[in-house]
Amino acid sequence: MEKETYIKQLKKLIKKYHPDLCRDEYLEKLYNEITIKLNEKLEQINAENNPLMKNNDQAYEYYKYGIKYYKNIHPDKFYKRNTDKTYETKTYKEQLVILNNIFISFNSASYYFEKVINEYPKSQWTDDAKNKLKLLKKLYKSYENFNVEENNQIIDSNKFVNEMGLNVM
């Protein structure tokens, strides 16, 4: 049988036995069973393709996601670096968007680190996740006091680091 003929016959059968068109109880029951099995198979395929399920060390996968969001929290996003090593603040609207994204990153990073701590307490990533949560709390306090101003300022990078309470390595 040719492919085109097969497809035409398949479409006819689909139209003939579709639950909206065919009111046979037995066929409706079969259709529901097939749909349930198909959904189970699709869920299995999705689970196999999900990066969180692929790796046997799921604690590490959660930890990596936490680190991904943790990296978005750095305060340098509020400033444009000038060639003379000073920083100029971005516009008020840009700062509000950045601040919103940073708070979303705080919540996401906390969520994944807490998931590692609570679900995998004996994992090798648990201690570092605890340390990252402590740092997140400290950084969150500095962002609560962060003053978004409408006017552009130019500040020295050393002053910026000191105001944020960061340690330069």
Tell me the two tokens of residue 33: 């069973």
Q: Residue 115 belongs to what domain range?
A: 55-164
For residue 151, pLDDT beyond 60 = no
**End-to-end Cα separation, the chain, in angstroms:** 72
Q: Name the domain count of the chain.
A: 2
Give the model's pLDDT for residue 131. 92
Which of 101-105, 148-152, 155-159 is modeled with the greatest confidence?
101-105
* 169 occurs within a structural domain: no
Note whether 37 and 62 are same-domain residues.
no
Give the model's pLDDT for residue 169. 47
Note whether 106 and 24 are same-domain residues.
no
- Which is nearest to 94 in space by CA: 105, 78, 81? 78
Give the model's pLDDT for residue 99. 79
For residue 53, pLDDT beyond 70 = no
Q: Which one is predicted more confidently, 111 or 33?
A: 111
Note whether 45 and 24 are same-domain residues.
yes
Q: Return the minimum-mean-pLDDT range out of 16-25, 38-47, 49-58, 124-133.
A: 49-58
Note whether 101 and 27 are same-domain residues.
no
For residue 90, pLDDT beyond 70 = yes
Q: What are phi and psi of 78, to 5 degrees?
A: -80, -10
Note whether 71 and 44 are same-domain residues.
no
Q: Which one is predicted more confidently, 42 or 65?
A: 65
Entry pTM? 0.51
Note whether 116 and 93 are same-domain residues.
yes
The answer to whether 114 and 130 have CB atoms below 8 angstroms apart is no
Note whether 42 and 98 are same-domain residues.
no
Give the model's pLDDT for residue 154. 47
Note whether 72 and 23 are same-domain residues.
no
Note whether 102 and 116 are same-domain residues.
yes
- Which is nearest to 99 in space by CA: 61, 73, 122, 117? 73
Note whether 66 and 113 are same-domain residues.
yes
Note whether 83 and 107 are same-domain residues.
yes
Note whether 124 and 153 are same-domain residues.
yes
